[in-house]
Amino acid sequence: MQSGQRPVKVFVTRRIPPEGMAVLNKAEMCKLDVWDSDEPVPRAELLKGVSGAHGLICLLSDRIDAEVLDAAGPSLKVISTMSVGFDHLAVDEIKKRGIRVGYTPDVLTDATAELTVALLLATARRLPEGVQEVKGGGWSTWKPLWLCGYGLSGSTVGVIGLGRIGMAIARRLIPFGVKRLLYTGRQVKPQAEELNGEYVSLDELLSQSDFVVVSCSLTPETQGLCDNSFFSKMKSTAVFINTSRGSVVNQEDLYEALSSGQIAAAGLDVTVPEPLPTDHPLLTLKNCMVLPHIGSATYTTRGIMSELTANNLLSGLTGASMPSELVL
């Protein structure tokens, strides 16, 4: 910061990993105002904290809409979100006001892919049920069909949305002996050739896949994509996995598909709402495994995400090119 230049206000909506805070604390140009908690900032505190801010660091759980932008005022130049998703941002309103946006699209690919594979295996092989049987005294003796699940060897896997994360998931699943990889989306993906991936229609993917993995972006086209019609086209022995966005799935329809035996099992890392209420019907089902949105939850990944978030913000405040800027 040049001599005599006043520091710019930056509001941070949550306690972020130390790697990002170290970057921010070193920047003399910033006057930090941090909601120093692991819990989300209350709406009233968000509106107060963002007032007069030049930069804003937020998370996926922070709804940044016109009300927040109005509260910030014309000083707000940069929003940096510690997430790959940006459906919590009022993009049209932000673009109208000429505010730059940074996000973290690439750094969580491996962690999310690993979690997806872990969720798929745990769901298909009924690991949570097994743990409960051990703890609850249900484990008596070896039984030929007790806790049998579904294996990947010789199976057909269908991936909806073969982007960065979708490809990373597929690369990790193929070595388990997957026979066919099907995918669908807006267009053919040349990179799928390395895995002999077959581009098919959604209906064909659903009818032929033993495992259906959703890793697409949330768009108007994918909102509520996984509904009664979707599940009715799947095999009764198929396993459904979603680590993309909760809104892609109609959860009432998923409950019906699982409870009626239309599909075999489901594993979710994303829901609507988040957190999912403890009395939600899906949580009563043994064949549904729900995780608390931990796709990127490794120490390394979260540290890199926070550092990138901080660097996106500082670059935006100085008018420089961001390491990862969202094109509005």
How would DSSP label each residue in 219-277? -TTTTT-BSHHHHHTS-TT-EEEE-S-GGGB-HHHHHHHHHTTSSSEEEES--SSSSPP
Assign residue 114 a region (left: φ > 0; alpha: ψ between -120 and 50; beta: otherwise): alpha
Annotated catalytic, 293? yes
* CA dihedral sign of residues 22, 25, 27, 31: positive
Contact 182, 209 (CB under 8 A): yes
Helix, strand, coil: what percent of the chain each, to 5? 35, 15, 45
For residue 306, with 0-12 CB atoms within 10 Å meaning exposed, 13-18 middle and 19 or more buried, which class applies? buried
Contact 244, 219 (CB under 8 A): no
| Structure tokens that stand for 250 in this block | 């109609």
Closest to 24 measured CA to CA, from 312, 323, 299: 312
| Structure tokens that stand for 229 in this block | 């019609």
- Buried b / exposed e over 22-41, threshold 16 CB at 10 Å, is ebbeebebbeebbbeeeeeb
| Spatial CB neighbours of 120, under 8 Å, sequence gap ≥ 6 | 173, 211, 213, 239, 241, 267
Pick the catalytic residue from 54, 88, 280, 293.
293
Residue identified by tokens 């001599």 is 3
* CA dihedral sign of residues 323, 101, 58, 268: negative
One-letter amino acid of 234: M
Cα-based angle 87, 89, 94 (whole degrees, multiple of 5): 135
Residues with a catalytic annotation lie at: 293
